[in-house]
């Protein structure tokens, strides 16, 4: 019952009018002219709309089944994966030296958005593969790269990340999985991992597991964790597949959503693996992957918001109920479409601003990753590291909220399975949890990122906002509707940062008690910035005589709505932060 229309015009707007990619000095961006990106987006959009989205409900209803150690994915998933890999989508932004197509990460992000909107559970299979390949690319030996990357890039094989165990999720220092060194340089891995997305399935010839484990005798806690590559089937010298390794799926998790993705208990029973990177430096290897992985989860947030919003909008235009209070709009029908009603619009606008703002934030983030990787730009690397917990935490919270709001647009129909909105809500929910819960994101932000480089990076962010405002204050329309609210919100963020620096020094609980609010406050300011930038770009287009005036005027009105009705949330977050630890920590644990 749901539909998905690739939002290509909006994506092109972000690429070319907000980010102005062809003007960038990042190697490879010069090729991204509008015709070229249009062609890529069109093709990705076709796969998303015609191949992946029709399987979204099937995946939810059938789910995955474990039969004699084999995981059966939902009907049609394998054939869809064939189309995705044959189209070259699995290696789009990967290293050409190992068979990738070498496009910027930004373009992979754009295609990934559409695939994720269309079918989030499906997109996790190539998504995790991409993450595993990146880890091998950065930390693996040349031999490992030669062995694994071409097949992971081509999608013939898929990959996984194995971190969590029953007794540890956030606190990976508690890992028990053991890796015992063998004479031939390999390790025998023993232990059980849980919640392994795409851990076992029937869509690829081999599965390459990246596993965190401890080598006996190493340091205690997180300092003694190493990263291993453990293939499901061994790979012979000639690249052909050999024997099955001692790794197996011990069970599938029944979950609230993303049923089409196999969430596995993975048992390693003396499975043979090989160290990736340095011994005991597994956490560091994971961390270097984290920006990319968390950005892709931030994307999932607004991508589920996008498809939910599209369907809510369709319903609001079709459903006839009540009459426009300012005068009948549909005199020949029994009632007017509900989009005429102010509270329905309020809800739709609430959805729209976070979807479009979220896209701008994530694409900007992807462009910083490209800048960091392709120019070895440390400032870009620092800035994206600062922003990653904000993007992940804020956009997945808002993405879920958007899906819930879209469901609400449908009234009772939104609660039924038939209309499909409730699936978007159930699927979107996981993004707030995995890749580090949003609470953990907020601790990363306040505990680690805020003070990074002696506070220089956060200062650079403030400076960026300030310069943008200063450079454009001469534009009266931009100033009143966009820059002034942004300035206000930015002051709130600075006040909160100051509070943490001063009060957090005296008592770390004062900072930690406000971390979640700080993440949202930061998210709002960042979204305020990109909306102001999009408003500027829209004004420029209108001034430049763009023919599609409605498109740009709609962007301006949408941004104004965000500025007027959402950005003021910064004051509430600051008020909450300013109360410090006392209200939060007042109760004894026994008295809750």
Residues 385-404 that bind its own copies (CB under 8 A): 400, 404
- According to the binding rule CB under 8 A, does residue 498 interact with its own copies? no
- According to the binding rule CB under 8 A, does residue 565 interact with its own copies? yes
Tokens 């694994």 correspond to 148
CB 560 within 8 A of CB 481: yes
- According to the binding rule CB under 8 A, does residue 452 interact with its own copies? no
* Cα 474–Cα 478–Cα 479 angle in degrees, nearest 5: 65
CB 220 to its own copies: min, Å = 11
CB 471 to its own copies: min, Å = 25
CB 168 within 8 A of CB 162: no
Nearest-angstrom CA–CA distance, 3 and 77: 18
By C-beta, is 50 or 579 nearer to its own copies? 579
- According to the binding rule CB under 8 A, does residue 550 interact with its own copies? yes
The structure tokens listed for 423 are 């699936």
Nearest-angstrom CA–CA distance, 285 and 482: 41
- According to the binding rule CB under 8 A, does residue 445 interact with its own copies? no
What is the DSSP code string of 346-381? HHHHHHHHHHHHHHHHHHHHHHHHHHHHHH--HHHH
- According to the binding rule CB under 8 A, does residue 583 interact with its own copies? yes
Q: Which stretch binds its own copies (CB under 8 A): 89-97, 101-109, 123-131, 410-418?
A: 410-418
Site map 228..267 versus its own copies, x via CB under 8 A: -------------------------xxxxx----------
- Please name the residues in contact with 268: beta carbons below 8 A apart, sequence gap of 6 or more: 177, 189, 190, 191, 192, 193, 211, 213, 230, 246, 247
Residue positions annotated with a catalytic role: 435
CB 283 within 8 A of CB 93: no
- According to the binding rule CB under 8 A, does residue 340 interact with its own copies? yes
- According to the binding rule CB under 8 A, does residue 581 interact with its own copies? yes
CB 196 to its own copies: min, Å = 11
Residues 193-212 that bind its own copies (CB under 8 A): 194-195
* Cα 436–Cα 442–Cα 443 angle in degrees, nearest 5: 85
- According to the binding rule CB under 8 A, does residue 327 interact with its own copies? no
- According to the binding rule CB under 8 A, does residue 433 interact with its own copies? yes
Among 349, 375, 460, 501, indicate the residue that binds its own copies (CB under 8 A). 349
- According to the binding rule CB under 8 A, does residue 2 interact with its own copies? no
Helix (H, G, I), strand (E, B) or coil at 578: helix
- According to the binding rule CB under 8 A, does residue 437 interact with its own copies? yes
Among 44, 339, 391, 530, indicate the residue that binds its own copies (CB under 8 A). 339
CB 29 to its own copies: min, Å = 31
Q: Which stretch binds its own copies (CB under 8 A): 28-36, 107-115, 408-416, 451-459?
A: 408-416
Site map 145..184 versus its own copies, x via CB under 8 A: -------------------x--xxxxx--x----------
Helix (H, G, I), strand (E, B) or coil at 210: strand
By C-beta, is 23 or 588 nearer to its own copies? 588
Pick from 573, 365, 420: which is nearest to 489 by CA? 573
DSSP 8-state secondary structure symbol assigned to residue 320: B
- According to the binding rule CB under 8 A, does residue 501 interact with its own copies? no
Tokens 């003021």 correspond to 568
Residues 516-535 that bind its own copies (CB under 8 A): 516
- Please name the residues in contact with 562: beta carbons below 8 A apart, sequence gap of 6 or more: 353, 357, 527, 528, 531
Among 443, 465, 534, 537, indicate the residue that binds its own copies (CB under 8 A). 443
Binding footprint of its own copies, residue count (CB under 8 A): 92
Among 32, 80, 120, 430, indicate the residue that binds its own copies (CB under 8 A). 430
- According to the binding rule CB under 8 A, does residue 216 interact with its own copies? no
CB 419 to its own copies: min, Å = 10
* Cα 393–Cα 397–Cα 401 angle in degrees, nearest 5: 170
Among 73, 123, 300, 407, indicate the residue that binds its own copies (CB under 8 A). 407
By C-beta, is 13 or 148 nearer to its own copies? 13
By C-beta, is 390 or 443 nearer to its own copies? 443
- According to the binding rule CB under 8 A, does residue 352 interact with its own copies? yes
Nearest-angstrom CA–CA distance, 505 and 44: 49
Pick from 517, 339, 309: which is nearest to 425 by CA? 309
- According to the binding rule CB under 8 A, does residue 192 interact with its own copies? no
Q: Which stretch binds its own copies (CB under 8 A): 97-105, 126-134, 235-243, 576-584?
A: 576-584
- According to the binding rule CB under 8 A, does residue 8 interact with its own copies? no
CB 447 within 8 A of CB 369: no
Tokens 């707007």 correspond to 13
Among 35, 418, 454, 474, indicate the residue that binds its own copies (CB under 8 A). 418
Residues 70-99 that bind its own copies (CB under 8 A): none
- Please name the residues in contact with 218: beta carbons below 8 A apart, sequence gap of 6 or more: 224, 226, 279, 280
- According to the binding rule CB under 8 A, does residue 220 interact with its own copies? no
CB 110 within 8 A of CB 363: yes
- According to the binding rule CB under 8 A, does residue 3 interact with its own copies? no
Nearest-angstrom CA–CA distance, 167 and 155: 33
Q: Which residues pair with 70 in a beta bridge?
A: 67
CB 18 within 8 A of CB 360: yes
Among 432, 465, 478, 534, indicate the residue that binds its own copies (CB under 8 A). 432
Handedness of CA 23, 24, 30, 32 (dihedral sign): negative
- According to the binding rule CB under 8 A, does residue 346 interact with its own copies? yes
- According to the binding rule CB under 8 A, does residue 564 interact with its own copies? yes
Residues 277-316 that bind its own copies (CB under 8 A): 313
Q: Which residues pair with 252 in a beta bridge?
A: 264
The structure tokens listed for 111 are 């295609």
Among 240, 326, 332, 547, indicate the residue that binds its own copies (CB under 8 A). 326
- According to the binding rule CB under 8 A, does residue 546 interact with its own copies? no
- According to the binding rule CB under 8 A, does residue 557 interact with its own copies? yes
Tokens 């790979």 correspond to 235
CA atoms in the 13 A half-sphere facing the CB of 431: 37
């Amino acid at each position: 019952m749901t539909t998905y229309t690739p939002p290509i015009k909006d994506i092109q707007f972000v690429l070319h009018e907000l980010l102005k990619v062809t003007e960038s000095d990042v190697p490879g961006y010069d090729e991204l002219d509008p015709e070229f990106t249009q062609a890529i987006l069109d093709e990705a959009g076709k796969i998303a709309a015609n191949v992946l989205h029709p399987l979204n409900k099937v995946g939810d209803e059938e789910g995955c089944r474990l039969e004699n150690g084999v995981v059966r994915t939902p009907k049609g998933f394998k054939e869809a994966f064939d189309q995705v890999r044959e189209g070259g989508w699995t290696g789009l932004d990967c290293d050409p030296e190992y068979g990738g197509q070498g496009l910027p990460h930004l373009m992979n992000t754009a295609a990934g958005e559409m695939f994720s909107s269309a079918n989030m559970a499906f997109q996790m299979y190539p998504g995790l593969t991409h993450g595993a390949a990146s880890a091998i690319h950065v930390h693996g030996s040349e031999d490992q790269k030669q062995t694994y990357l071409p097949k992971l890039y081509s999608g013939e094989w898929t990959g996984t990340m194995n971190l969590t165990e029953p007794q540890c999720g956030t606190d990976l220092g508690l890992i028990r999985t053991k890796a015992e060194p063998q004479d031939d340089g390999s390790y025998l891995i023993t232990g059980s991992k849980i919640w392994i997305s795409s851990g076992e399935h029937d869509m690829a010839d081999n599965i390459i597991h990246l596993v965190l484990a401890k080598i006996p005798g190493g340091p205690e806690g997180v300092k003694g964790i190493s990263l291993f590559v453990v293939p499901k089937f061994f790979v012979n010298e000639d690249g052909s597949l050999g024997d099955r390794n001692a790794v197996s799926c011990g069970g599938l998790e029944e979950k609230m959503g993303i049923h089409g993705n196999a969430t596995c208990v993975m048992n390693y029973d003396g499975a043979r693996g090989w160290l990736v990177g340095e011994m005991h430096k597994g956490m560091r290897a994971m961390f270097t992957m984290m920006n990319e992985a968390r950005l892709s989860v931030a994307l999932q947030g607004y991508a589920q918001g996008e498809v939910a919003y599209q369907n809510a909008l369709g319903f609001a235009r079709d459903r006839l109920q009540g009459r426009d209070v300012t005068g009948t709009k549909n005199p020949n029908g029994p009632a007017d479409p509900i989009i005429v009603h102010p509270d329905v619009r309020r809800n739709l606008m609430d959805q729209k601003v976070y979807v479009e703002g979220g896209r701008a934030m994530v694409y900007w983030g992807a462009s910083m990753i490209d800048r960091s990787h392709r120019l070895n730009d440390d400032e870009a690397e620092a800035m994206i590291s600062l922003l990653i917990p904000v993007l992940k935490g804020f956009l997945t919270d808002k993405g879920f909220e958007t899906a819930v709001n879209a469901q609400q647009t449908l009234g009772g129909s939104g609660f039924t399975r038939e209309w499909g909105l409730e699936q978007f809500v159930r699927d979107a929910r996981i993004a707030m949890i995995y890749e580090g819960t949003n609470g953990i994101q907020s601790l990363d932000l306040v505990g680690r990122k805020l003070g990074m480089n002696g506070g220089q990076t956060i200062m650079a962010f403030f400076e960026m906002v300030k310069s943008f405002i200063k450079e454009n204050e001469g534009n009266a329309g931009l100033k009143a509707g966009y820059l002034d609210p942004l300035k206000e919100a930015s002051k709130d963020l600075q006040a909160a940062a100051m509070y943490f620096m001063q009060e957090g020094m005296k008592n770390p609980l004062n900072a930690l008690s406000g971390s979640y609010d700080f993440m949202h406050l930061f998210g709002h300011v960042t979204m305020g910035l990109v909306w102001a930038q999009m408003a500027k770009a829209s004004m420029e287009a209108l001034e430049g005589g763009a023919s599609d005036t409605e498109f740009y005027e709609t962007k301006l009105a949408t941004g104004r709505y965000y500025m007027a009705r959402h950005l003021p949330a910064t004051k509430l977050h600051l008020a909450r932060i300013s109360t410090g630890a006392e209200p939060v920590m007042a109760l004894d644990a026994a008295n809750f």
